[in-house]
Chain A
Amino acid sequence: MQLDPASRPPSVLSRLRAAACVLLAVGVPAVAAADETSPRYQLDASTLLYREAGRVTVIEPVARITRLFEGGGSLGAEFTLDVMTGASPTGGRPAGGIQTITTPSGNTQTVSAGEVPTNPFRDERGAVDVDWQQPIGTRAGAATGAHFSLETDYQSIGVSEKLSLETMQRLLTLTVGGGYNRDDVFPVGGTPVGLTSNGERTGVDRNAKEVLSVMAGVSRVLTRRWLVGINASRSKESGYLTEPYKVVSVVDPATQEPLTHLSELRPSTRQRTDLLASSVYHLSRDILYLSYRYYWDDWGLRSHTVDLKYRFELGATFLQPHVRAYAQTAADFYTLSLANGAPLPAFASSDQRLAHFNSLTGGLTYGFRLPGHAGELTVRAEYIGQFDRLNLNAPAGEDGEEGEDGGAPVTPDPFSPLSIGTLTLSYSRSF
């Protein structure tokens, strides 16, 4: 799902790596087997209300129904709807005076002095996920998943498989998995030729993107209270990986004023790896969740994520504060703008998602059972802030030299820090 959809006229490009990743994210948990006394179905429903300050608003209802089988297997189907509205940055730079921009669909738009160019849009995305989990004997299990999603300019189809094995008196669990995604990108108005400003189209309306991923993990019960795990995943993306509606500004080296905009261009392959270490610790009453993830890819992007949750158990209810810290370094070809007259690089993007930034999330979840009712409800409010985006690829000076870390002065990102507020309501019930 693309929550900050790049400036598109009515539609939105969906970053659907999420597809394969969410499939692989479904573990093979100990599902209660069904019989006369235990539940046969489980219903999970949630709604996300998401708002970026001054930008995008998303509402995302999700409904999931799972059939539980005797013997421990299950079959689940999940339906997701995303409704996105708002305005999102094009990647172009603000100017000292009024700018007139031609959008990818051919409309013209006027941008005031100092204002970040954005495009208003509204789009809907629907997705269906199916997963089937089955124990194999008493010590192993398999989980198979399939995904389909569709929006105005993006389609994603994926499959995944995960196998797990319990060994060492069930204290050690080994998991391996793989996934394959086939996405199609069909931008509104055709596919722009990369790094051109004349609206030239490639002539290919439907661009393919493939993602192949593998993961392996080990989890270990260390003590009666402590479960730890480590896992690694690697994915290879190939095909059309560019955001067709994003642009890079070409500025006058002396005044830094934008003169024109080029459509962005990214490489056609990307190799991504991540390592995740997690811990769940049960104190006398409460539970502490801690995880650290290190990520790197061959676009030069690296990130660290630390996630901490503390669950206060209050009898029939619980309160769970959450803190997440994230730091990312920029992709090699990320640039705030290109200097007029300098030779064109092979790839360039001003997409803030590829920039150097830090992010901090703070949130609180409250869970409770409705009186006289079998289901559980949780309410979560979170705030996500992105800040400290430094432009490490400062625009070239008159002599054509690139600014470098520690060399030419680093220009603070003129875009304002991003603030996101979310509210997530979830309901869960077995019957």
Chain B
Amino acid sequence: MRFRPLSLVIFALSSLALVATQVASADPPPGRAPAFHLATPHGSVTLDSLRGKVVLVDFWASWCVPCERSFPWMGALYDSLAPLGFEVVAINLDKDLVASDAFLARHPTRFTIAFDPDGKTAKAYQVKAMPSSFVIDRSGTIVLAHRGFDPKKATELEALIRKECMR
């Protein structure tokens, strides 16, 4: 088979260059968690009002399959750690309210659901993947930014949250 070596080299180099740009972009360095003021099903929520608690901020949408898997896990974690001053704010990024309502009907929660349809808060948190979760300590600093959700790897995340709650 006659290949054109030059073409293959160009293709390979372009691929490597594109991969390199992907690797170079890292997670945002932990710092002050951006404030937000968002609507909830029964009112509104602000991050400032949760100062002094360990907060898990999770960005999700109804069309994101791993998000669906994270809800039971977040619910169990909230039930377990709420007495220690732990809050979950699950920020919904759906543009279609019908879809998010259907999702919430399937997964009723005891933790806070907030709505960010314009994505302004997601942008402030520099969300890079769906879902994305941020663990914020009692002083309002981001201690961990986590992309995606895998039930098998959730134990590490859980361990970190429990450690924060013990402080």
Identify the A interface with B (CB < 8 A). Answer: 32-33, 35, 37-38, 70-71, 138-139, 165, 167-170, 172, 174, 212, 214, 216, 236, 271
Contact = CB atoms under 8 A, between A and B. Distances in A.
Contacts of A216: 11
A212 B1 contact: yes
A167 B19 contact: yes
A139 B22 contact: yes
A33 B18 contact: no
B49 interface: no
Interface string B18-50: 110110010000000000000000000000000
29 contacts: A32-B65, A33-B66, A35-B151, A37-B68, A37-B69, A38-B65, A38-B68, A38-B69, A70-B151, A71-B150, A138-B148, A165-B15, A167-B15, A167-B18, A167-B19, A167-B21, A167-B22, A168-B18, A168-B21, A168-B22, A169-B22, A169-B25, A169-B128, A170-B129, A172-B18, A174-B15, A174-B18, A216-B11, A271-B2
Given A38-B65, A38-B69, 9 more contacts: A33-B66, A71-B150, A167-B15, A167-B19, A169-B25, A169-B128, A174-B15, A236-B1, A271-B2
Contacts of A38: 65, 68-69
A214 B21 CA distance: 27
Nearest to B19: A167
A38 B22 CA distance: 30
Contacts of B1: 212, 214, 236
A180 to B, nearest CB: 11
Contacts of B66: 33
A35 B22 contact: no
Nearest to A238: B1
Contact of B65 (A33, A169, A170, A214): A33
B69 to A, nearest CB: 6
Contacts of A35: 69, 151
Interface of B: 1-2, 11, 15, 18-19, 21-22, 25, 65-66, 68-69, 128-129, 148, 150-151
Nearest to B150: A71
Contacts of B151: 35, 70
What 6 pairs across the A-B complex have the smallest Cβ distances? A167-B18, A167-B22, A236-B1, A174-B15, A32-B65, A212-B1
Contacts of A271: 2
A214 B3 CA distance: 10
A306 to B, nearest CB: 26
Nearest to A33: B65
A271 B25 CA distance: 42
A149 to B, nearest CB: 24
A170 B25 CA distance: 13
Nearest to B130: A170
Contacts of B2: 271
Nearest to B128: A169
A33 B69 CA distance: 10
A18 to B, nearest CB: 20
A274 to B, nearest CB: 15
B130 to A, nearest CB: 10
B2 to A, nearest CB: 8
A271 B1 CA distance: 9
A70 B18 CA distance: 29
A307 to B, nearest CB: 26
Contacts of B150: 71
A284 B129 CA distance: 25
Contacts of A37: 68-69
Nearest to A271: B2
A174 to B, nearest CB: 5
Contacts of B19: 165, 167
A168 B22 CA distance: 6
A216 B2 CA distance: 16
A261 to B, nearest CB: 36
Nearest to B25: A169
A167 B18 CA distance: 6
Which of A35, A71, A172, A236 is the most central at the interface, judged by chain B CB atoms within 10 Å of its CB?
A35
A118 B120 CA distance: 70
Nearest to B12: A176
A330 B18 CA distance: 41
Nearest to B148: A138
A172 B17 CA distance: 12
Nearest to B11: A216
Nearest to A236: B1
B27 to A, nearest CB: 13
A10 B2 CA distance: 39
A100 to B, nearest CB: 46
Contacts of A169: 22, 25, 128
A165 B2 CA distance: 26
B68 to A, nearest CB: 7
